[in-house]
Amino acid sequence: MRILTLGLLALLYSFLSFSQENTSIEDIKKKKYYTQKLSSGSIKLDGVPTEPEWEAVEWGGGDFIGYRPFEGKEPTYQTKFKIIYDDKYLYVAYRAYDAEPDSIVQRMSRRDEFPGDWVEINIDSYHDLRSAFSFTISASGVRGEEFISNNGNNWDSSWNPIWQAKTNIDEEGWTAEVKIPLSQLRFGKNPDKVWGFQIQRILFRNQERSIFQPIPQSSGVWVSGFAELHGLEDVKPQKQIEIAPYTVAKLERGPAQAGNPFQTGKSSNITAGVDGKVAVTSDMILDFTINPDFGQVEADPSQVRIDGFQNFFQERRPFFIESRNIFEYELTGSQAGGDYDSDLLFYSRRIGSSPHSYPDLTDSEYADVPQNTSILGAAKFSGKSKNGWSIGILESVTQEEIATIKGENSERTEIVEPQTNYFVSRIQKDIKGGETVIGGILTSVNRKGNLNDLLHNDAFTGGFDLLHYWKNRTYYIKGSAIFSHVTGTAEKIYNTQTSFEHLFQRPDSDRPSVDPTRTSLTGSGGTIRIGKSGGTGKGEKGRVFNFDSGVTYRSPELELNDIGFMQTANEINHFTWAGFRYPKSFGKFRNARINYNHFFKWDFDGKLMFQLFNVNAHATFQNNWSMGSGLNWNTFDVSNNALRGGSAIRRPPGFGQWGYINSDQRKKIQAFAQGSYFVGKDAVMNFTNVNFTLSAQPIDAMSVSLSTGYNHSYRKQDQYVSQVSYGDVTRTIVSSVNQNTWRYTLRLNYNITPDLTLQYYGQPFITRPEYEGYGYVKDPLNKSYEDRFHRFTSSQITEQDGSFMIDENGDGETDYSFGDPNFNFMQFRSNLVARWEYKAGSELYLVWSQGNTPDTGDYWEQTLNQNLFSNLFGQQANNIFLVKLTYRFLK
């Protein structure tokens, strides 16, 4: 892998030659297309645009140009289109010429996966030059849609409007007809409308993309470079109303537990609710849900961390996905992509999460605890006005959750989650067509109930952000400033001060110190970034130099985790990313890029905590294989969190490398391999990660993939185990840890029709951290690794009944003890889903979900995979069968 990286770097560096400039975006004239309104008649949606109504307009296109890989060149085959409209719909017809119709790739897939040959239209109906609605239709009839924001830097495929399309293959290639309800678009009331639009096509067998409106890849823009759609006279805003009642029938079967009245092995229930959408104006939408079904078609992947940091899971629930671009507020969002980039002011998975409390049980008691907090109702008002105001308001209420506890002769209840109100408001204003964007956000969490010692009573966060482009959106400066304020009982605020994210109790820091009498905390954070995201490509390879550099900070008292996501406070990060891109095809390459990154971190005591340097290179070859590799050099590392409130600890510097290779995605069988390793100085730590995916498309209607991943990590002596008292001092117990993790993932998709699909997802997972060589931290910042720790001798440590007894002073008496941290964790999750969209926006789901998280006990004699397959599948799993029916009423 090292030879691969050095060779690729040397090859790409050899191309760093300056030459003549290419055409810039400001020199390209925007094309115009004039549409017409239908005066009579209607379009029969059959994929063949032969109705007389289509004759009202001329064919556009026929002059598409190459975008990838041969930018600016004549594409292999041309594409034409027509656009017409009536009072309710926008219609688009395509003629995709192809001299080899039998070679048109008609692969099927799930919605939004864009299989085979396809064509799409992007519509900037706001005409704000920043956002657009994308509608894609494949030659096989699979639909896909995305909401485009940030001038093409963000494509959100979770947006799911209601629209229709049909396709047809003929001797000239293939054709399509698209019918988009105007109610699914957003636009102002001005009588003479001009919309931006772009049409692009993929010729799959050549991996060739062509576009109607020329936009250089080096420009760094997308929506602002669109062509213009004229002739939209008397297009009236639609009073969109959608009501979608649903019902879910659930049957659950699993292993019974003797004596447990709540685990009898079977249960069933029926629930109902309604989702709705109302257009308050043509560009502002009110979404609401009552007793929502927030079940997920695909389960979250299994994750286990032993470093103390939180796991992050993607949002999959439709209500929160809709218009989420308006509510997004990243604290940093850097191109360099450090750990700080996961921090968010609004993390919607906090709403409806599992209860924060679990009842204390006696040996004879059993508890029935809700798996998730029920959402009584939620409403969301969002949209963008013709004056450039983006507005988002979200309100959600979760109910008080109560656990029922039964013993041999008793029954009681206990609150495990209080009633909670979540509120988010987000506003942004485009100035000068989006060249400057200012915005703000305000969130609040308000709780009632008797869990105040576990949870904050109230939590507020807010922020202000600014984005400014110049030189035709080539350069930008971006900044944000945020605050947080949480209140609660003295006990709860004490718990927050001493939590993993804050650790005020660290003995080597007095900024700030723990105050057990406080009942509130107020913190701040912010980011300033400057960068270049486009520009004029140079030379025949279109070489472009871009960069992104800045500083982001979180004050020690910043607390976001009531409604946001924050890994840790008390840090100041500097980051820089710079790279050369070669977007045009040259030699053996379709495209290539080379990047440099560096990262520095300090805490608020002014101490340097972290330094890392990285170079990486990537290339796609003319045969459509791609590969990349990178080198990491960590020169300095001190962690304030690793000892969970003990002092900061120095960690060894190290060196690492990673790489990947991806086969030709056009083939029926595809493979992807990725690997990485990192080695600390003097081999006191090492990390290895290997992933391999094999995908097959035996027929156009079916795809299957199998992935396997293996992760190994070893840390010598500095893995946190526990904290114990020894006289007047606190000992931080540490050990070596050797952790192995295996993950397998199987996915299968079978498309009976584009609207009738069968999907399977299954993932067995196992991880085993093995702790050994226990000791305590002696001098955590000592430059000598061995001098940082005292390792217990055999006479100082004995094991007894799952605990370790320590006789530190050798007097024959136990001075302190701690539990055995070793464990196995294994889990199997799977879903089999049949989905039928029997009417536009109305769906029937049949779901079989199977899961198993067994009590692994002591399986240390077996290998990891023997453990997984002999025990995970050797025990009875929990099976859930669901039938969900949704019917959508449209007006």
Give the pLDDT mean for 617-639.
Answer: 96
What does the alpha-carbon distance between residue 157 and residue 52 come to, in Å, rounded to a whole number?
34
What does the alpha-carbon distance between residue 294 and residue 272 come to, in Å, rounded to a whole number?
12
- Segment 576-606, tens digit of pLDDT: 999 999 988 888 999 999 999 999 999 999 9
| Backbone conformation region of residue 307, classed left if phi is above 0, alpha if psi is from -120 to 50, else beta | alpha
pLDDT greater than 60 at residue 5:
no
Range scoring the smallest mean pLDDT among 97-101, 448-452, 855-859: 855-859
Give the pLDDT mean for 177-190.
Answer: 86
What does the alpha-carbon distance between residue 130 and residue 220 come to, in Å, rounded to a whole number?
12
Give the pLDDT mean for 208-227.
Answer: 93
- Segment 666-682, tens digit of pLDDT: 999 999 999 999 999 88
What does the alpha-carbon distance between residue 813 and residue 788 come to, in Å, rounded to a whole number?
26
Handedness of CA 47, 52, 55, 56 (dihedral sign): negative
pLDDT of residue 603: 95
Give the pLDDT mean for 342-361.
Answer: 92
Residue type, 449: G
**DSSP H stretches of helix in 684-799:** none
pLDDT of residue 519: 95
Hey, which residues does 580 pair with through a beta bridge? 545, 594
Give the pLDDT mean for 294-301.
Answer: 62
| Backbone conformation region of residue 433, classed left if phi is above 0, alpha if psi is from -120 to 50, else beta | left
Range scoring the smallest mean pLDDT among 187-196, 332-341, 424-433: 187-196
What does the alpha-carbon distance between residue 847 and residue 613 come to, in Å, rounded to a whole number?
47
- Segment 783-805, tens digit of pLDDT: 999 899 999 999 999 999 889 99
pLDDT greater than 70 at residue 36:
yes
pLDDT of residue 18: 36
Helix (H, G, I), strand (E, B) or coil at 793: coil
Give the pLDDT mean for 846-865.
Answer: 72
pLDDT of residue 48: 96
Q: Report the candidate in 589, 579, 570, 524 with the shortest Cα–Cα distance to residue 548.
A: 579
Range scoring the smallest mean pLDDT among 126-140, 401-415, 698-712, 856-870: 856-870
Give the pLDDT mean for 187-198.
Answer: 85
pLDDT of residue 675: 97
Q: Are 444 and 423 in contact (CB under 8 A)?
A: yes
Q: Are strands 626-639 and 649-651 parallel, antiparallel or unpaired?
A: antiparallel
Residue 756, token pair as written in the block:
């009738």
Where does the pLDDT of residue 731 fall: very low under 50, low under 70, confident under 90, or very high at 90 and above? very high
What DSSP line would sit under 358-412, residue for residue?
Answer: -----TT-EEE--SS--EEEEEEEEEE-TTSEEEEEEEEEE--EEEEEE-SS-EE
- Segment 45-85, tens digit of pLDDT: 999 999 999 999 999 999 999 998 888 899 999 999 999 99
- Segment 204-214, tens digit of pLDDT: 999 999 999 99
pLDDT of residue 395: 95
Where does the pLDDT of residue 865 fall: very low under 50, low under 70, confident under 90, or very high at 90 and above? low
Q: How many percent of the chain have pLDDT more than 70?
A: 93
Cα torsion through 691, 697, 702, 707, rounded to 10: -10
Half-sphere exposure of 754 (CA within 13 A, CB side): 21
Give the chain's length.
Answer: 891
pLDDT of residue 14: 39
pLDDT greater than 80 at residue 870:
no
Helix (H, G, I), strand (E, B) or coil at 428: strand
Q: For the chain, which domains are there? A: 31-233 (2.60.40.1190), 308-606 (no CATH)
- Segment 809-819, tens digit of pLDDT: 999 999 999 99
Give the pLDDT mean for 165-183.
Answer: 95
pLDDT greater than 60 at residue 2:
no
pLDDT of residue 875: 65
Q: Are 328 and 131 in contact (CB under 8 A)?
A: no
Q: Are 508 and 184 in contact (CB under 8 A)?
A: no
Helix (H, G, I), strand (E, B) or coil at 572: strand
pLDDT greater than 90 at residue 549:
yes
What does the alpha-carbon distance between residue 16 and residue 533 come to, in Å, rounded to a whole number?
18
- The tokens 């910043």 sit on which residue? 558
Q: Are 107 and 74 in contact (CB under 8 A)?
A: no
Supply the DSSP symbol for 685: E
pLDDT of residue 4: 40
Q: Are 292 and 379 in contact (CB under 8 A)?
A: no
pLDDT greater than 80 at residue 247:
yes
Residue type, 509: S
pLDDT greater than 70 at residue 873:
no
Range scoring the smallest mean pLDDT among 58-67, 170-179, 255-264: 255-264
Where does the pLDDT of residue 21 fall: very low under 50, low under 70, confident under 90, or very high at 90 and above? very low
Helix (H, G, I), strand (E, B) or coil at 218: helix
Q: Which H or E run contains 7?
A: helix 2-13
Supply the DSSP symbol for 42: -
Chain centroid, CA 271 distance in Å? 30
Q: Are strands 475-487 and 520-532 parallel, antiparallel or unpaired?
A: antiparallel
Q: How many percent of the chain have pLDDT more than 90?
A: 63
Q: Are 858 and 823 in contact (CB under 8 A)?
A: no
Answer with the residue of higher pLDDT: 599 or 878: 599
| Backbone conformation region of residue 532, classed left if phi is above 0, alpha if psi is from -120 to 50, else beta | beta
What does the alpha-carbon distance between residue 135 and residue 143 come to, in Å, rounded to a whole number?
7
What does the alpha-carbon distance between residue 749 and residue 751 come to, in Å, rounded to a whole number?
7
Residue type, 722: S
Where does the pLDDT of residue 319 fall: very low under 50, low under 70, confident under 90, or very high at 90 and above? confident
pLDDT greater than 80 at residue 16:
no
Helix (H, G, I), strand (E, B) or coil at 345: coil
What does the alpha-carbon distance between residue 621 and residue 617 come to, in Å, rounded to a whole number?
13
Where does the pLDDT of residue 383 fall: very low under 50, low under 70, confident under 90, or very high at 90 and above? confident
pLDDT of residue 699: 94
- Segment 390-411, tens digit of pLDDT: 899 999 999 999 999 998 888 9
Scored b (16 or more CB within 10 A) or e, 691-703 reads bebebebeebbbb
> 561 φ, ψ to 5°?
-80, 5
pLDDT of residue 3: 39
What does the alpha-carbon distance between residue 269 and residue 292 come to, in Å, rounded to a whole number?
15
Helices (H), strands (E): how many in the chain? 5, 48
What does the alpha-carbon distance between residue 100 and residue 484 come to, in Å, rounded to a whole number?
61
Q: Are 398 and 373 in contact (CB under 8 A)?
A: yes
Answer with the residue of higher pLDDT: 870 or 807: 807
pLDDT of residue 424: 97
Where does the pLDDT of residue 7 fall: very low under 50, low under 70, confident under 90, or very high at 90 and above? very low
Give the pLDDT mean for 193-220.
Answer: 94
Question: Which residues 6+ apart lie within 8 Å of 113 measured at CB?
Answer: 142, 144
Residue 187, token pair as written in the block:
């636009």
pLDDT of residue 688: 97
pLDDT of residue 289: 87
Question: Which residues 6+ apart lie within 8 Å of 728 measured at CB?
Answer: none
What does the alpha-carbon distance between residue 830 and residue 746 come to, in Å, rounded to a whole number?
9
pLDDT of residue 275: 86
Answer with the residue of higher pLDDT: 327 or 78: 78
pLDDT of residue 541: 73
pLDDT greater than 70 at residue 22:
no
pLDDT of residue 871: 63
pLDDT of residue 210: 97
Give the pLDDT mean for 621-646.
Answer: 95
Scored b (16 or more CB within 10 A) or e, 518-539 reads beebebebbbebebbbbbbbbb
